[in-house]
Amino acid sequence: MSYLLPHLHSGWQVDQAILAEEERVVIIRFGNDGNATCMQMDEVLASVANTLKNFAVIYLVDIDEVPDFKIMYELYDPSTVMFFFRNKHIMIDLGTGNNNKINWPIKDKQEFIDIVETVYRGARKGRGLLVENLGEAIENGTRDQHFDSLVTELSSKFEKCQQLLNNISASISSKAACYMPSRIWLSRIETVEGTKQKVAEAEQMLNQRRELVAKYKNSLEELTKSDI
């Protein structure tokens, strides 16, 4: 059923899909169309896409074709469904201990619709579920083991994102150095200019991701300061 849903074929397309949507939740299924688990999930996604169209949009991403997010989002499962709203990753608590994503096939259509409706209502408040839980813990004065685990989890993700950004930055710098034109290659200046443009686009995407990480980090710092 994957052929019934739109696909995103590059990291840039994924970023633009998340950035461009202002009013609806962006649902992205990461995986492979031919995987049995993905096929089960895609059947449900395709069947509810029209029902959810007023407040959610669904995309599919092949993680072999677009490996950019494997490390950032820890995409190690056959099928992973994630939610985004206004350029923010919306975390959900379904009682599994994994607040970042749904990494199993949901076979009940109504169950998935209920989840998306809950995500949409929560996202309209302007905060992801993980940060919201931290805020509630601070407000109620209940800094317990659960609170500390949330802080640790979020801090760990900041470190992983920063490491990924550093790796991307180093890769961009390396590629830029490799494509510096020399006298021998003056006849290929147009090709090099095209490469420079791609490098510039990659740097722009990198800066957007840095801003996203910075926003999450600022949210954590503000909540932690409030607790103090």
Instruction: List the chain pLDDT tens, one digit each, 228 residues.
Output: 668 899 999 999 999 999 999 899 999 999 999 999 999 999 999 999 999 999 999 999 999 999 989 888 888 899 999 999 988 888 877 766 667 789 888 989 999 998 898 888 888 876 544 334 444 444 454 444 444 555 556 566 666 666 777 777 776 666 555 544 444 444 454 555 666 677 777 777 777 777 776 776 676 666 666 555
> pTM (2 decimals)?
0.56
Token readout for 178 is: 């490799």
List the beta strands (DSSP E) in the chain.
7-8, 25-31, 56-62, 79-85, 88-90
209 is in which domain, residue-wise? 131-227
Residues 109 and 139 in one domain: no
Residues 144 and 179 in one domain: yes
The total number of structural domains in the chain stands at: 2
| Domain-terminating residue out of 104, 126, 148 | 126
Residues 99 and 150 in one domain: no
Residue 23 CA to residue 86 CA, distance in Å, equals 7
| Domain-terminating residue out of 63, 91, 126 | 126
Q: Are 85 and 126 in contact (CB under 8 A)?
A: no
